[in-house]
Structure 1
Amino acid sequence: MKIVMCASEMVPFAKTGGLADVAGALPAALESLGQDVAVILPAYRCIRQAKLKLRKAKEGISYTVIGNNIKVYFIENDAFFDRDNLYGDKNGDYKDNLKRFAYYCRKSLDLLAEINLKPDIIHVHDWQACLIPVYLKTIYKDQPFYRNIKTVLTVHNIGYQGLFVKDEFPTLDLDWNLFNMETLEYYDKINILKGGMVFSDLINTVSHTYSKEIQTKEFGYGLEGVLRKRENSLFGILNGLDYSIWNPETDKFITHNFSVQTIKDKYKNKENLQTICNLPAEKNIPLLGIVSRLAEQKGFDILSDALPAICKMDIQMVILGTGDAKYHLLLEEAAKKFPKKISLHLKFDDALAHKIYAGSDIFLMPSKYEPCGLGQMISLRYGTVPLVFRTGGLADTVDEKNGFVFDRYTAQDLIETIGRALKVYKSKKKWTELMERGMQCNFSWRESARQYLKLYDQAIAS
C-alpha cells in the first residue's frame, strides 16, 4: 500500500509537541510492516539549518531519505517557513498561519502529481494539514490523477482547531458556498479542523475512549455535533511507545538497568533518585513521581487541593515540569515546607525524567482529560505503578490489574486512591505482581501501525 503522511511537524526534523513523535514513529512502523511510505513537511528554518543531506525533487521541493526508503519531502517557501518557530512567537500565533498552511496543503497535493507519486491513502494530522481532504474533494476532484485517493484524519487534540476570521476565506481559493455550517463555518469563523472532519473519508483519534469523549459536550470543544454525525467513520487507535528510547533494560540515563526478571534492581534506581533529589534514601517509603506540564488539564487543580492531605501521608514526591505560574508558586511553598517529602524541579530535563520513571514506586497522572498520554505507558514499562483519572488514553491503558484508577474528578477521590495504593504497597507480593503485569504490557508502535493498516483498508473500501 502507498501511504503519504502529511503533518506540520515530525521528529527528528521539527518538534513542538507529541504530534511530532507520532509523525516520526508511525511511518517507520508502517515501513517495517512492508508498506511504502512518504512524508511531506514544511521546510522550516530549523530544517534548513540542520545539516541534512537534502536532494532536489524539483523547484521548491527538497527531500531526504530515512529508514530503509521513507522519502521525506520539504515544501520550501522562505516567506512562510523561514522563521524562528513553527506556529508563533511570544506575541502569539503568526497572523498569516492560514495562508502558510493553505499553501502547504496545496503544494503537498501538487507535488504528488508533479513527481507521479499516487498514494492509496493520504494520512493527515491535525488542523494544519486538514485542507488536504477539503481540496481533494473540491478543487482537485475532477483531475484524473487524484481520483480514488482516500484520506484519513488523525485528531491529536480537539482543542486546537485552526480558527480564523471569515475575512480570510478568499485565502483558501474555495467557493464561498463552502462557508456554511455544514462544512467550514463555525460561529461566523473559519474552522479548518471542522473542514477536515467533514471531508476526510475516515477520522481517528489517539485512543478509543477519547474518540467517544469528543462526541460529548464536555470534551468536544464545540465540534461534538460534527463528530456525532460521523460516528460510524470515527475510530480510536492508541499511540505507540518507542521502546528503543523507553526501555529499562538498555536505558543509558539510569544507574541500574533491569527487566521483569531482575525487578529487584529497580530499587537501586529508587535509591539513586532519592539521593540526587536530596530525599532520605528510605527503601520502604513509597516514592511518587510526576513528569508533567503543570496545568489544570494535567490535574494540577485537584492535586493542589489534595496536597495538604498527601503531605500528611508517609510518602515522598519528585515533581518535574514547568507550566502555570500559580502551580509553580504553590509547589515551591509545599517543597519548602516539606523538604524531606517533596523534591521539585521546575524545568525540562530528559535525563531526570528517565530517572523518575525508573526510580519511582507510583506515577501520578490525574489528568482531567488526556487524548492518549505517554507517561502512563512509560511508567508501566519501568515497573512504576500508574495512578490515573479514568479518561481518554489513561482509561484504555490503566486498570486495576496494572495500576490505580479513580472515577470522580475530585481532590477527595485522588486522596482516597493514593491511600488505597499505599495499602497495597505494604504487601510486597501484591505490589510486585502489579509491577510485573505493568512491565509486560505492550504498547509498541508496530501494534498501532497494524491498527492503522486496518483503518486504511476500510478507507479504501469506503
Structure 2
Amino acid sequence: MKLLFVAAEGAPFSKTGGLGDVIGALPKSLAKSGHDVRVILPYYDMVEAKFGDQIEDILHFETKVGWRSQYVGVKRIVRDGVTFYFIDNQHYFFRGHVYGDFDDGERFAFFQLAALETMERVDFVPDVLHAHDYHTAMIPFLLKEKYRWIQAYHGIKTVLTIHNLEFQGQFDPGMLWDLFGVGFERYADGTLRWNDCLNWMKAGILYADRVTTVSPSYAHEIMTAEYGCGLDQILRMESGKVTGIVNGIDADLYNPETDPLLTHHFSLSDLSGKAASKRALQERVGLPVRDDVPLFGIVSRLTRQKGFDVVVEELHQLLQKDIQIVLLGTGDPGFENAFAWFGQAYPDKLSANITFDVQLAQEIYAASDVFLMPSRFEPCGLSQMMAMRYGTLPLVHEVGGLRDTVQPFNAVDGSGTGFSFNNLSGYWFNWAVDEALAVYYNDKQAWYGLQEQAMTRDFSWDTASQRYNDLYQSL
C-alpha cells in the first residue's frame, strides 16, 4: 500500500512526547513490511540545526491561507526506508519550539493546506492518509470538502489517531474562511461546531474513515463523560469506527544488553549489570549505596494528569518506609517545589532531579526496582513498557494503556509484570506500594519471576504495526 503520515512532530527530527515517538517508529516498521511509506512534517529550526546538511530541497510553491499567499518549501530525506517530506516556512516554524504560540491555529492550518497540496506535486497520492492529533485533524474534512474537485484524491482513505483528547484545537469559527478558505455551511449546520467554537478534533472524528486511539482501554474510556473531554457523545455516536491499538517501543533502542547510554549492560540470564547500575545511580544522585533497599524510579512530567497530587500527599508517609526514590522530571511548579522540599528533608531517601536529562532517564529505567506511574488517565504511556524491558516493575493506576500493558501480580500463580491499583487515592496507592515491598523483601523468587515476565513481553513496533496494517487493509 501507499501510506502517508501527516503529523506536527516526529522523532528523530522533532519530538515533545509520545506522538513524536510513534511517528519515528511506526512508519519505519510498516516500511519493513514492504509498503511505500512517506511522512510529512513541519521544517522546524531544530530540524535545520540537526539535519539541515542532509536534507535536500525539491520544490517550492505558494499556497493560499485564506486571503494570504504563503511560501511553501518542500524538502526531503530518506531514512530507514521511509521518505520524509518537510514543509518549510520560516515565519511559521522557526520559533525555537514546536507548540505553544498564540497563532498555533494559523501555523497548523497552513501546514495542513500545504501538506495536502504537496501530495500531487511530489507525485505521491496515498491509498491511506493517516493524520495524528488535532494539529492535522482537519485534513479528512479538507479532503472531502475543499479539495474534492481534485480527481486523484477521491480514492484516499483517512485515519485519525487520537494520542491525547485533552487538546482539541478549539478556535473562532471565522477561521474557516479566514484561514482554510472554505464556506460556513458545515459550521452553521453544527457539524464542525462544539461549544460555540470550531473544533478541529470533532471535525476529524466525524470526517475520518477510521479513528484510532493508542490503547483499547483508552478507546472505551473516551466514550465516557469522565475521560471524554466533552466529546464523549460524538465518540459514542461514531463508536463503530473507533478502535484502540497499543503503541510499541523501539526494542532495538531500548535494550539493556546494548543501550549506548548505559555503563553497565545486563540481560535476563545475568542481572549483575542491573545491580551495578543501581549502585552507580545511587552514587550519582547522592543516595546511600545499598543493594538491599528497593529503589523506586520516576521519570515523568510532573502534572496532575500523571497522578502526582496523590504521590505528594502520600510522600511523608511513603518516606517512613525503608525505600529510596529517585525522581527526574519538570512540570507544575507546585509539584517541583514539593519534591525539592522532600528531597532536602529526606536526603537519604529521595533524590529530586528537577530537570530533563536523557541519559539519567535511561539510568533510572535500568537501575530501579520499581517504576512509579500512577496516572489519572493515560492514553497509552511508553514509560511503563520501557521500564519492563529493563526488568523494572511498573506500579500503575489501572487506566488506559497502563491497564492494557501491565499485568498485575497474582500471588496465587506468580503471574504478572508489575503492580496496580484500581482507585486513584492515597489509600490504594499505599496498598500497591506495600504489596510491592512485601514481594521484594519476602519472596525473591517471585520478584525474579515478575522481572522475567516483564523483560520477555513483546512491545516491539513490529508486533504493534501489524494491527495498523490490518486496519489499512480493511479500508
TM superposition score category, shorter chain reference: over 0.9
Deviation at 1:17, TM superposition (A): 2.2
CA distance in 2, matches of 1:181, 1:256: 62
CA RMSD of aligned residues (A): 1.5
1:194-247 deviation line (CA, Å, top 9, x unaligned): 111110000001111111111111111111111111111001111111122211
Change (3 A) 1:52 1:214: farther
Written as runs of structure 1 = structure 2, the 5 A alignment for 1:113-132 is 113-132=120-139
1:145-202 deviation line (CA, Å, top 9, x unaligned): 1111100001110011111122333222222111047421111111111111110000
Point out the more displaced range, 60-69 or 295-304. Answer: 60-69
Deviation at 1:33, TM superposition (A): 1.2
Confirm or deny that 1:167 pairs with 2:174.
yes
Which residue number in structure 1 is paired with residue 340 of structure 2? 332
1:124-154 deviation line (CA, Å, top 9, x unaligned): 0111111210111112224211111100001
Deviation at 1:410, TM superposition (A): 0.1
CA distance in 1, matches of 2:456, 2:334: 38
Confirm or deny that 1:309 pairs with 2:317.
yes
Confirm or deny that 1:102 pairs with 2:109.
yes
Change (3 A) 1:347 1:82: closer
Change (3 A) 1:217 1:261: same
Deviation at 1:77, TM superposition (A): 2.5
Written as runs of structure 1 = structure 2, the 5 A alignment for 1:353-368 is 353-368=361-376
CA distance in 1, matches of 2:398, 2:473: 31
Confirm or deny that 1:87 pairs with 2:99.
yes
Amino acid at match of 1:268: A
Deviation at 1:100, TM superposition (A): 2.1
Deviation at 1:81, TM superposition (A): 2.5
1:402-438 deviation line (CA, Å, top 9, x unaligned): 1101001101100111001111112110100011110
Which residue number in structure 2 is paired with residue 410 of structure 1? 425
Deviation at 1:64, TM superposition (A): 2.4
Change (3 A) 1:131 1:52: farther
Which residue number in structure 1 is paired with residue 20 of structure 2? 20
CA distance in 2, matches of 1:172, 1:345: 44
Amino acid at match of 1:70: V
1:395 to 381, 403, 409: 403
CA distance in 1, matches of 2:422, 2:221: 14
Amino acid at match of 1:294: L
Deviation at 1:263, TM superposition (A): 2.1
CA distance in 2, matches of 1:281, 1:447: 39
3-state SS in 2 of match to 1:65: strand
Which residue number in structure 1 is paired with residue 64 of structure 2? none
**Preserved CA contact (<8 Å) 1:206 1:237:** yes
Deviation at 1:347, TM superposition (A): 0.6
Which residue number in structure 1 is paired with residue 39 of structure 2? 39
**Preserved CA contact (<8 Å) 1:39 1:72:** yes
**Preserved CA contact (<8 Å) 2:113 2:180:** no
Which residue number in structure 2 is paired with residue 57 of structure 1? 58
**Preserved CA contact (<8 Å) 2:58 2:76:** no
Written as runs of structure 1 = structure 2, the 5 A alignment for 1:46-445 is 46-50=46-50, 51-59=52-60, 60-88=72-100, 93-95=101-103, 97-170=104-177, 171-180=179-188, 182-400=190-408, 401-426=416-441, 427-445=443-461
Point out the more displaced range, 127-136 or 249-258. Answer: 249-258
1:107-135 deviation line (CA, Å, top 9, x unaligned): 21222122321210000011111121011
CA distance in 1, matches of 2:90, 2:436: 54
Deviation at 1:68, TM superposition (A): 4.5
Amino acid at match of 1:52: D
Which residue number in structure 1 is paired with residue 69 of structure 2? none
Point out the more displaced range, 258-267 or 427-436. Answer: 258-267
**Preserved CA contact (<8 Å) 1:293 1:322:** yes
**Preserved CA contact (<8 Å) 1:381 1:438:** yes
Amino acid at match of 1:422: L
Amino acid at match of 1:374: L
**Preserved CA contact (<8 Å) 2:296 2:323:** yes
CA distance in 2, matches of 1:46, 1:254: 26
Deviation at 1:310, TM superposition (A): 0.7
TM-score (normalised: structure 1): 0.95
CA distance in 2, matches of 1:78, 1:346: 32
Change (3 A) 1:406 1:323: same
Deviation at 1:337, TM superposition (A): 1.7
Amino acid at match of 1:139: K
Amino acid at match of 2:454: G
3-state SS in 2 of match to 1:137: helix
**Preserved CA contact (<8 Å) 2:328 2:356:** yes
Change (3 A) 1:68 1:366: closer
CA distance in 1, matches of 2:445, 2:77: 49
CA distance in 2, matches of 1:234, 1:182: 21
**Preserved CA contact (<8 Å) 1:248 1:358:** yes
3-state SS in 1 of match to 2:174: helix
**Identity of counterpart residues, as a percentage?**
39
Unaligned runs of 5+ residues in structure 1 are none
**Preserved CA contact (<8 Å) 1:63 1:71:** no
Amino acid at match of 2:321: M
Amino acid at match of 2:54: K
Deviation at 1:16, TM superposition (A): 2.3
**Preserved CA contact (<8 Å) 1:43 1:74:** yes
